[in-house]
Amino acid sequence: MRVELSKEFRFEAAHRLTGLPSSYKCSRLHGHSFRVAITVEGDVDPKLGWFIDYGEIKTAFQPLLDNYLDHFYLNEVEGLENPTAENIARWIWDKLKTRLLGLKRVSVFETCTTACHYEGR
C-alpha cells in the first residue's frame, strides 16, 4: 500500500518582497502567520503498518523552524533574500530533500486563503 503523510507546522515571520514598485504593499515590511505542510510518500511496511513515524518529519523540519524561520526576518536568511511563498517552499525543499525519506511536497500557506505547493526535482 502506498500512502502520503503530511505534518503541519506554524511560524511567525516578517519579510518584504523585493523588486516590486514601492507603491506595492508587499514591498513594505510586514509579517505573516505562516503554515507549512511537509508531505512524504512511500510504501507502508506491512509488519509495522506505517511508512514512517510522523516524528521523523518533525525531527527533519524542526531545526529549520527554530534556527531560520520562526520569529526571523526572512530577507536576512541566506537563500531567502526575496522570500516569496514560492521561494520559501523551494528553500525548505532544498534543505529537506536529503534529510527526509520520501519527500513529496512542501506547501507554504502565507495566509489562510493562499498557498504555494512545491514538488521539487
Q: At 37, list the grid cell.
A: 505542510
In the residue annotation, 41 being an active-site residue is answered as no
Residue in 4, 8, 26, 119 annotated catalytic: 26
In the residue annotation, 110 being an active-site residue is answered as yes
In the residue annotation, 15 being an active-site residue is answered as no
For residue 100, what are the contacts with CB-CB under 8 A and spacing of at least 6? 38, 40, 56, 57, 60, 61
User: CA-CA distances (angstroms) from residue 97 to 26, 68, 79, 105, 113?
Assistant: 29, 17, 16, 10, 27
Residue in 71, 76, 81, 119 annotated catalytic: 71
Minimal CA–CA distance to 103: which of 7, 19, 1?
7
For the chain, report the end-to-end CA distance as a whole number of angstroms.
Answer: 24
Q: Which residues are catalytic?
A: 26, 71, 110
